[in-house]
Chains A and B, each alone.
Chain A
């Protein structure tokens, strides 16, 4: 604001007015007493303003403007303090009055423009910015400073004139020299105009100028995510989050990029921090809820979905996924109420019928589920997934023929969807139609060759059909895709055992036929197969044991932690020791044991446990 910066100015102004009054007709209210009081009020306002007592200043300046409305400086001072008080809308008429009293004053035009822009009237501010700029270029006028161009650019941007806004920012930068914030502003405008590469380059330039300028990293991070350069996005946002750990928006976007990278666990942590810092950010609760849901933490997700819905009661994503979370946690009845709510809003909402069907399946209300899936199909008859849902529901009721019909239709409508042939394969297997089961499962693995479970089921079905060689191949494929799962190994061991049994029979037959050599060869092969089977079972056993040991260790660790919370150190130590005994390679119990020892004053033992934890940690 230009403003009446000096206290003597208002006195000067008064003198001028009085002088004017002497040579011209006196204004109706310019009585000397009023002028004197206005002067006093102006001085008092100024003093209050200097002391940061803005409300007091406002009252005094308002008094001055009322007592001497013909003096622009009073209005200007009042406008200025109103802007300082964050009340730009009230400042606008004061600046307008001042500008009217003193036309051609670039400073007053600027004040008015800025107040309008701040009051949200960007379009209205533009003519005043333009006027101020024009006036400032008149001979004898002081040229505007860089900050004018920044304000002007922001108003232009807000008014939708991004191109010109960028130009004005650039003008500001020519006056100030390179500045990270201006590059960031220009980059943001470029991004708004969809000029992604240009924007990226501007943000990078801003960061080059000031590596600690968080908005540029924040914007660059978001832009990089948009450009699918997730690693680079993570780098920028991680740095931004480290620089401003309490910036909720940064944490929100960091969380979103972590989600996009598939790292939901870390994303959930960042989003939880973001929502704690600033729960008012749009979408933050929903984002966190969805992340928790993907992590399988349905119970944790539910309250966040509820909060998201409180903020936006008609958000379909929140409504649907809360319903699904409730379904998944066994609260199908609550889910149904939500889906009915959605349906009340739109009785032709196919998704709502489908969701209801699923909740009803969860409640074992299969007949209701079938009815709802059929209603959905009446609205969308060629939806392959709805036919699939219906088929699966028939399957739950052992209505195999209807299940097969629906699943076949689903397969016909969506020939690239792997689920229908997979399900059909299982159904045929269950009804003893092994040939058809195998054909469908082969189709499923062709459509989804990376699905280890399908390979495992195919292997098992081939085994049932006595196609042992093919079964072994499928199971080996399953093992390669599911290296941590013991079950395909157990099945493969069964296949190999059967192959061995077959060889044993052949060997006996060879014996009976007097062909000892052949019998010997067959028995040797049999021995080899049995040995392989034993090997696979051994591996499965080791895997199972490792998993169970870790489970037991985690259980003891959790118990120890709870005991620690209750201050029962000795009991906690016993639990940690039990955890270590169950899984000696698990670092966390060592670490917790170290803490417990430390609290008992057993520093040496604590150090040993800490060292052990550190030794084990890199491997985990």
Chain B
């Protein structure tokens, strides 16, 4: 029977209910042919990223929460301008983009480059297709913390003024010289900014063996010591094998999203290949991508990556948020290789087994069961994903049960577990912004600049959406991409710096009226890497906010890990922050180092930063002066 109108309509209708119409039409497109490397290149066909239509649905009724209905107690205020962060981040066209390269934006870091325990800020910058006149190129910026709520641009002096299509950054002391270094990925050659310890940096990518033999779209990165030899190795995700000379334009391939012409891809474009560099311990790296199993992953189009001991084996694994395909979960085989077990572990797809367009990822133990869980941002029309760790390399998608299924309209990038109210329970902040500037003025139901989501942990396995009461920093629409979390004003609550596209960044200062305790732990490795990346920290305190069902007065046990990257393309405060509720002291701090060493400290004072060296020596204990806000 020929394809009748009726047949088509049925197919449209049937599919449209599970997937959006766009998907049906996209699927009808012919497969593209690889031509990018041919003698006579032709433009391959492609389609726009598929759109999603997950249902927004509130969580089922959960166990009674002691938090529900109580005031949030914190407000996020954007103080970027008054803090001196008034330089616009440039990234692609303002109103229209030709290539996906112009859409993904870049990350940020709270990076204490001078080790004074006042967080400085590194903001990656981008580029435009048409280029810039000499000496007017946008460059990355490093802002030194003036310890008064303001920052000074020290970019030129520091030697980090690199231009180009900047993407992500991660922080770690790759040469164990005691100074944290900065790695920045690009569409093009990456930069390894070695911290010279005197306020300056030197890009040593070439000397370190990190130059690439061809043009690559490097994306999320993270330092990790995957073989636990005390030297930080480096994972670099790769998004799309993109060559602008052969990449299709929206007009050529008629790439559309909800009826509007937009940049093509990722579907139809060749996925990038992730890279793992092994640190040889002499300041140089070797590419071990293939032999370590990086290229056997099911998914592709890597965006953000995070390294964490997700299976409590003491060995770091790597979780990668992939766009439009299954996420990757590289499980450390403890022999220098990894195996992608995302599907087996239940962290590859939506609960219905469908690939999602992953953007940012963060890990944290949100239900305080001693296992690190995963939160991942996805595309507009879809929910974000919350994977609860069941142990034994198994996760359960708790997005709806936990209450994150209530929002599907906005498009998430940056994401982080963070205890915004210092109650000892991890909340979630999500930075949104549509990928296509063309949605503005179109009939698409979401704008380009979007507000954020703020979810408060109800301590019963669920979250409540308090976005609309989180302050102007949350509710003001922004073209957000990556953000970094840290306490830049050392006032004991967590702030965030958000990198936006074609706009100045946001510095979201958390103003809390809650008088809750906290503790910060910064670790210094000796046998382990100096930054202590991968160190698992356990904090036990009588916070007054125990797990539900525990006997009254029980202490709360929290865990976290020192990580080189977090969220979307960003790196956060390396001082692990733990909210302590109404605890007057910390009963126990246990540090499990990557080397296997376990240090324990007890009876620590609250509201202080402790700098602990591997072996248990407290190098520094500091109570910060009262916060001063300009």
Contact = CB atoms under 8 A, between A and B. Distances in A.
Contact of B13 (A300, A423, A489, A501): A423
Contact of B5 (A294, A358, A563): A358
Contacts of B196: none
A364 B258 contact: yes
B60 A568 contact: no
Interface string A327-338: 111111000000
Nearest to A331: B254
Given A494-B351, A568-B39, A422 B14 contact: yes
A354 B9 CA distance: 10
B33 A558 contact: yes
Nearest to B34: A559
A589 interface: no
A494 B396 contact: yes
A144 B479 CA distance: 95
Q: How large is the interface on A (under 10, 10 to 19, 20 to 34, 35 or more residues)?
A: 35 or more
Contacts of B37: 559, 571
Interface in B33-80: 33-35, 37-40, 55-58, 60
B298 A494 contact: no
B343 A490 contact: yes
A530 B396 CA distance: 11
A487 B349 contact: yes
B2 interface: yes
A317 interface: yes
Nearest to A324: B8
What does DSSP make chain A's interface, helix, strand, loop or mixed? Answer: helix
A494 B397 contact: yes
Give the most central of B256, B298, B353: most A CB within 10 Å: B353
B2 A317 contact: yes
B259 A566 contact: no
A503 to B, nearest CB: 13
Interface in A438-483: 453, 456-457, 460, 463-464, 466
Given A392-B13, A460-B351, A562-B38, A329 B345 contact: no
B215 interface: no
Given A321-B3, A355-B5, A490-B346, A362 B21 contact: yes
Contact of B28 (A329, A355, A530): A329
Contacts of B6: 385
A422 B259 CA distance: 26
A351 B9 CA distance: 12
Interface string B14-33: 10111001001101111001
A419 B3 contact: no
Given A364-B443, A541-B298, A321 B34 contact: no
A487 B12 CA distance: 20
A553 interface: no
B22 to A, nearest CB: 9
A457 B57 CA distance: 16
A400 B445 CA distance: 15
Interface stretch (A40-48, A424-432, A605-613): A424-432
Contacts of A457: 18
B298 A389 contact: no
A208 interface: no
Contacts of A460: 351-352
A540 B353 contact: yes
Given A298-B28, A358-B8, A419 B14 contact: yes
Given A389-B13, A453-B18, A498-B396, A487 B33 contact: no
Contacts of A299: 29-30
A392 B53 CA distance: 14
Contact of B326 (A463, A534, A544): A544
Contacts of A571: 37
Contact of A555 (B4, B21, B34, B298): B34
A456 B258 CA distance: 26
Contact of A491 (B4, B27, B254, B351): B351
B270 interface: yes
Interface in A518-548: 530, 533-534, 537-538, 540-541, 544-545, 548
Contacts of B10: 419
A493 interface: yes
B343 A320 contact: no
Contacts of A423: 13-14, 17
Nearest to A299: B30
B382 to A, nearest CB: 13
Contacts of B298: 541, 544-545, 548
Nearest to B390: A497
Contacts of A540: 343, 353
B243 interface: no
A388 interface: yes
Contacts of B348: 490, 541, 544
Nearest to B343: A541
Given A293-B2, A537-B343, A566 B39 contact: yes
Given A298-B28, A324-B3, A423-B17, A430 B55 contact: yes
Nearest to B39: A566
**Residue from A398, A427, A457, A559 with most neighbouring chain B CB atoms (10 Å):** A559
B25 A328 contact: yes
A15 to B, nearest CB: 70
A294 B2 contact: yes
A289 B394 CA distance: 49
A83 B142 CA distance: 97
Contacts of A545: 298
A457 B351 CA distance: 11
A532 to B, nearest CB: 12
A463 B13 CA distance: 24
22 contacts: A299-B30, A320-B5, A328-B8, A329-B28, A355-B5, A358-B5, A362-B21, A364-B444, A388-B13, A423-B14, A456-B352, A486-B343, A487-B353, A490-B343, A490-B349, A490-B352, A494-B397, A501-B390, A533-B394, A537-B346, A540-B343, A545-B298
Interface of B: 2-6, 8-10, 12-14, 16-18, 21, 24-25, 27-30, 33-35, 37-40, 55-58, 60, 254, 256, 258-260, 270, 298, 326, 341-346, 348-349, 351-354, 390, 392, 394, 396-397, 400, 443-445
Given A321-B2, A392-B16, A494-B351, 18 more contacts: A299-B29, A324-B5, A327-B25, A354-B5, A358-B5, A358-B9, A358-B12, A365-B259, A366-B443, A385-B9, A460-B352, A490-B351, A497-B346, A537-B346, A541-B341, A541-B344, A562-B38, A566-B39
